[in-house]
Amino acid sequence: MFELLLQSVKEKVSVKADEFEFAKTLFIPKKLRKRQYLLQEGDVSKYTAFVEKGMLRMFTVDEKGNEPILQFSMEGWWAGDLYSFLTQEPSQYHIEAMEVCELLLISKSSWDMLLDKVPAFERYFRILIQNSLIATQRRLMSSMSESAEEKYTKLINNFPGCLQRIPQHMIASYLGITPETLSRIRGQMSERK
């Protein structure tokens, strides 16, 4: 059950077997049906989740009814609102299962304890957050200066495999464009071979 998590940790830091055994005791397994919520806007994110199976989306709902997507989380990734989890303030985001999901939850207090007792996990999360920051910075620059088509092209180059599992209108929400625009872009791209 913890193979994926162990793999994720090991590829970033070296942990001793007993440290990882200790970590295991802090996680709570949880299953989600499709469309079930891990977190809803206004609620405090009591847990952050490692995704063992399935896929989730984290998004807000804006005044016009759009649902811009901040991130997708699939197997081997984490899902959670960092801000709400750390501060225990209400979240701005919804996190919803796009497929049947199997998660490993860890509470704020367990997380704090884990980072205190096992420095390797402090480092693991530092690296995780670091990579996430780098990716988010790139996406921000892309969203500031590129056209809709450029953004889409970059996306399919960066995540070739993943996109099959994601409905197109959600890809549009992730890119910050409308489903109509994405459809037109795809049309144009395929007709010029």
Interface with DNA (CB under 7 A): 64, 66, 147-149, 167-169, 176-184, 186-187
The smaller minimum CB distance to DNA, of residues 76 and 176, is found at 176
Q: x/- contact string, 62-91, with a copy of itself (CB under 8 A)?
A: x---x-x-x-----------xx--x-----
* Residue-wise DSSP of the chain: --HHHHHHHHTTS---HHHHHHHHTT-EEEEE-TT-EEE-TTSB--EEEEEEESEEEEE---TTS---EEEEEETTSEES-HHHHHH-PBPS-EEEESS-EEEEEEEHHHHHHHHHH-HHHHHHHHHHHHHHHHHHHHHHHHHHH--HHHHHHHHHHH-TTGGGGS-HHHHHHHHTS-HHHHHHHHHHHHHT-
126 belongs to the binding site for a copy of itself (CB under 8 A): yes
Name the binder of 192 from DNA, a copy of itself, none, CB < 5-8 A by kind: none
Q: x/- contact string, 12-51, with a copy of itself (CB under 8 A)?
A: ----------------------------------------
Closest separation in Å from C-beta 138 to a copy of itself: 8
Closest separation in Å from C-beta 80 to a copy of itself: 12
CA 107, CA 128: separation in Å to the nearest integer?
18
CA 59, CA 69: separation in Å to the nearest integer?
4
The smaller minimum CB distance to DNA, of residues 43 and 99, is found at 99
The amino acid present at 21, given as its one-letter code, is: E
The smaller minimum CB distance to a copy of itself, of residues 100 and 130, is found at 130
Name the binder of 123 from DNA, a copy of itself, none, CB < 5-8 A by kind: a copy of itself
Q: x/- contact string, 132-171, with a copy of itself (CB under 8 A)?
A: xxx-xx-xxx-xxxx-------------------------
